[in-house]
Amino acid sequence: MRTLYLCSLVLVSVSFPGKVLGQQPSGGESRAGAMRVFLECAARGCDQNHFRTEITFVNWVRDLRDAQLHVIMTSQGSGAGLRYLLDFIGRGELEGRTDQLTYSHSNTDSDDARTQALTGVLAVGLARFAVLLGQRGPFTVATRVRGSAAPPALPPGLQGEVEDPWDYWVFRVGGDLSVDKEDLNEQDRYSANFSANRTTELWKISISGRGSYSKREGRYSNGRKFEDIRKEGSVDGRLYYSLAERWSVGVDGGVSTSTRNNQDLAGRFGGGVEYSFFPYPEWTRRRMTVQGLLYSRYYDYQELTQFDKMSELVWEGSLRWGVGFRQPWGTANFNATTEAMLHDPTNLHRISLGGRLSLRVARGLEWNVGGNWSRIRDQIYLPKRRLSDEDILLGRRQLPTNSRWQFSTGFSFTFGSIYNNVVNNRFGFIGGGEGFFGGRGRGGGWRGRKDQVRWPGVGEPARPGGQSRGAVRPWG
């Protein structure tokens, strides 16, 4: 009976959350003394940012040892979609208390419907354990019905904070070693990364660094040896401040090195302002921002450039715009960027447009389309000498180009039984090897089906010049 009651409550809370669960401000002023929760996501479609945004009556922690409640979210393939299992495991004062809730998602439902329903199921489970700790309601999920008004938000910095001995700093270090040898080919790669981040209502601070060294040796068809050595690395720092509900200002800088981009050393320092057309707490559902930036960039080149430079200092201005929506009909993201070097903006600039649309056309039918285009006139780092065949074939140097574009589209159509109750795990995928239990695989860590947990590699590749170009992204 308890399961039936919880399912009914979830259904009502997702449809009319404000009326059933009461009203609670969307900030963190009521979080002092709230239950500490560690969420472990091992399921497809687990949007932790959305959960943290919408469920505000608990304290989300990043380490299991700090938690009073451990939530594990997993998913299993079923007849017509996915079945989600949410296991609630008490710790400390809640030791010995457990619970499990389930949610079935049909492949014909939209991603937005899945996210909203999972938020409601998770909130109901959390509310039960919060009551056991003596926490008083109301327990509100910020998800609103379509067309309802947004709850008023307090100015940044006034939502309240919890006591933290680390003062909101989070540190991370990582490394990777890869060795791949054959009789006629050998490739070694080493990489390391670190980061330090501090995020509050007023401040956002990020310091990060990454580096990689790769060496490849092999032989041509005539028996002659070749060697390919690449070095990439960068150190970046960012500092952003919340001026008002929709205004932010920030500065960032960094240094990098890149064999591919002919840069022994590249440095940048600058900053700008950002305006959000929608309140920042609504970022997971809708967003539209515009940024105006100004940077000073210094380059020390490995080889003489096409402009007869071995080093130079340039100023660059940039204007960026981005918009994104996640609605029952699907998701949409579009961006536009223009960048220009101020000493010669007519001849040295870059313009980029991009976007992706995933549209739920009809029941069970989804269509997606995406692409990007760039007009490129800012490759001042290209070497003057003619590139060798090895440089081109091995991709050791960036090639000159005036434009770059990419386009992709596809669809999926699901039809048949509407029932999604049965789960059968016989002969499930276990990864690796060949035969019944998986296709031909090649290293890179364990990877299961798309609806199961994935273990990606640590860190990300170093970005040429210390900064991705031609893409709109939120600061930080």
Q: Span 337-347, mean pLDDT?
A: 95
Q: What is the DSSP letter of 150?
A: P
Structure tokens at 241: 């401040």
58 has pLDDT over 90: no
The overall average pLDDT reported for the chain is 77
Q: Cα-flanking dihedrals φ and ψ of residue 348, to 5°?
A: -120, 95
Half-sphere exposure of 347 (CA within 13 A, CB side): 4
What's the pLDDT at 161? 53
Q: For 235-264, what is the mean pLDDT? A: 93
Task: Give residue 32's pLDDT.
Answer: 73
C-alpha span between 272 and 217 (Å, rounded): 45
pLDDT at 78: 60
Give me the pLDDT at residue 23, please.
Answer: 35
* Nearest Cα residue to 225 out of 262, 185, 197: 185
Query: In which region does residue 303 sit, left (phi positive, over 0), alpha (psi from -120 to 50) or beta (all else)?
Result: beta
CB neighbours of residue 400 within 10 Å: 11
* H or E element at residue 193: strand 185-199
Task: Quote the CA–CA distance of 90 and 101 in Å, as a whole number.
Answer: 14
Asked whether 399 and 379 are in contact (CB, 8 A), the reply is: no
| Side-chain-facing half-sphere of 138: CA atoms under 13 Å | 14
Is residue 5 very low, low, confident or very high in pLDDT (cuts 50, 70, 90)? very low
Of the chain, the percentage scoring pLDDT greater than 70 comes to 74
Could you give the CA distance from residue 44 to residue 296 in angstroms, rounded to a whole number? Answer: 42
Top mean-pLDDT range of 124-133, 135-144, 154-163: 124-133
Rounded Cα gap, residues 428 and 436, in angstroms = 9
Rounded CA gap, 133 and 94, in Å?
A: 8
pLDDT attached to residue 302: 92
CATH class of 2-132: alpha beta
Query: pLDDT tens across 378-414, in order?
Result: 999 999 998 888 788 778 888 999 999 999 999 988 7
Would strands 98-106 and 81-90 be described as parallel, antiparallel, or unpaired? antiparallel
Pick 446 or 65 by higher pLDDT.
Answer: 65
* Token digits of residue 343: 């000493």
pLDDT value at 20 more than 50: no
Per domain, the residue ranges of the chain are 2-132, 169-416+461-466
Q: Among the ranges 34-43, 151-160, 405-414, 444-453, which has the highest mean pLDDT value?
A: 405-414
User: 153 or 128: whose pLDDT is higher?
Assistant: 128
Question: Which one is predicted more confidently, 158 or 192?
Answer: 192
With the C-alpha atoms ordered 303, 309, 312, 316, is the resulting torsion angle positive or negative? negative
Q: Does 19 score more than 60 pLDDT?
A: no
CA distances from 323 to 3, 26, 154, 318 (A): 40, 23, 24, 17
Q: What is the rounded distance in angstroms from the CA atom of residue 96 to the CA atom of residue 89?
A: 8
Q: Is the pLDDT of residue 442 over 90?
A: no
pLDDT tens sequence across 160-211: 555 678 788 888 999 999 999 988 889 999 999 999 988 888 888 999 999 9
β-pairing verdict for 311-327 and 36-42: unpaired
Which amino acid is residue 49, in one-letter code? Answer: N
Q: How is residue 363 written in tokens? A: 């029941």
What is the pTM for the complete model shown?
0.65
Q: Residue 311 pLDDT more than 80?
A: yes
Please compute the mean of the pLDDT values over residues 337-352 and round it to a whole number.
95
> pLDDT band for position 159 (50/70/90)?
very low
Cross-strand pairs, 359: 330, 367
Confidence of residue 228 (pLDDT cuts 50, 70, 90): confident
3 state DSSP class of 386: coil
Distance CA 111, CA 284 (A): 12
CA 318, 319, 325, 331 torsion: positive or negative?
negative
CATH of domain 169-416+461-466: 2.40.160
**Burial grade of 327 (CB within 10 A; 0-12, 13-18, 19 or more):** middle
Average of per-residue pLDDT across 339-349: 95
pLDDT classification of 472: cutoffs 50, 70, 90: very low
Contact criterion met (CB below 8 Å) for 238 and 220: no
Amino acid 6: pLDDT? 42
Average pLDDT over residues 28-36: 67
Per-residue model confidence (pLDDT) at position 170: 84
Question: What integer pLDDT is reported at residue 122 of this predicted model?
Answer: 92
- Between CA 451 and CA 428 the distance in angstroms is 12
Q: Using an 8 Å Cβ cutoff, are 199 and 221 in contact?
A: no
Report d(CA 239, CA 253) in Å as an integer. 9
Residue 8 has pLDDT above 50, yes or no: no
Decide if pLDDT at 108 tops 50. yes
